[in-house]
Amino acid sequence: MKTKGFTLVELVVACTLLLMLSTIATTSTFNFVQATGNLKAQYNNIQNIMALHSVLVQAKMNYATDLASARTSASATPNNPAEVPIEDAISNWNLLARQNDSQDLISVLINPPAGIQPALPLAPLNPASRSYLPTSRNVPVTTMVGGFPVTTYVLVQITDMPSLLKAYQLTDNGTPTGNIVATISVGPILDLGPPLTRPTLPIIDWKSGTPQEIQF
């Protein structure tokens, strides 16, 4: 007949099981919170990529349309010298695209070539600006204050490709002060050649080896 109470072995086993269950529960909660945070970060990254992609597509399309319109107008007059800078602008763009020199292509969209009539862009986005891209962007930055998230806004001036990527938060910490972890491939615009060059959509990708590149 067994007496009431627990033996030392039973108590040790019970305590061990409790510790194991407690560890599993704590680890599962931590993993869940971490997974939720990662999903939110990935969602924000996707939203930022989509926003930048839309802006780049619009800028490239408008630049190509303006060049085509200017070339059509110049071609209406035989031996028109105005055709030369237009053809040079198209050839220069496609040369940079073949070299995958997206930094200089972004600079072209921000500072279109001069000497073309009518002056580019035909319909500026902002008064007194020749840029096909936004000149600045208000970037939301969230920090923890007293255990609560507080969002402030930082105005980022867009003057080149690095500032463009930072303005759209494509950095390792999602803020304008982080390290850039994304790349841009702008691609060629239409050129009747020869050879014929077809326009392509810009591509935004993660730098190889970054956490973002692994997650996506």
Separation between Cα atoms, residue 184 and residue 59, nearest integer Å? 14
Cβ atoms of 161 and 102 within 8 Å: the answer is: yes
Q: Write out the two tokens for 126.
A: 């902002």
What pLDDT is recorded for position 176?
93
Binned at pLDDT 50, 70 and 90, residue 40 comes out as low
pLDDT digits (tens, 9 = 90+) for 92-133: 999 999 999 999 999 999 999 988 888 899 888 888 899 999
CA distances from 141 to 43, 56, 125, 176 (A): 16, 23, 26, 8
What pLDDT is recorded for position 199?
84
Cα 177 to its chain centre, rounded Å, is 15
Q: What percent of the chain has pLDDT over 90?
A: 42
The structure's pTM equals: 0.77
CA distances from 36 to 27, 33, 40, 90 (A): 14, 5, 6, 47
What is the pLDDT of the chain when averaged over all its residues? 82
Q: What percent of the chain has pLDDT over 70?
A: 74
Residue 11 has pLDDT above 70, yes or no: no
What pLDDT is recorded for position 1?
46
What pLDDT is recorded for position 116?
87
Residue 34 has pLDDT above 60, yes or no: no
What pLDDT is recorded for position 21?
66
pLDDT digits (tens, 9 = 90+) for 149-163: 888 999 999 999 999
Residue 204 has pLDDT above 80, yes or no: yes
pLDDT digits (tens, 9 = 90+) for 48-90: 899 999 999 999 999 999 998 888 887 767 666 767 788 899 9
What pLDDT is recorded for position 216?
39
Cβ atoms of 130 and 59 within 8 Å: the answer is: no
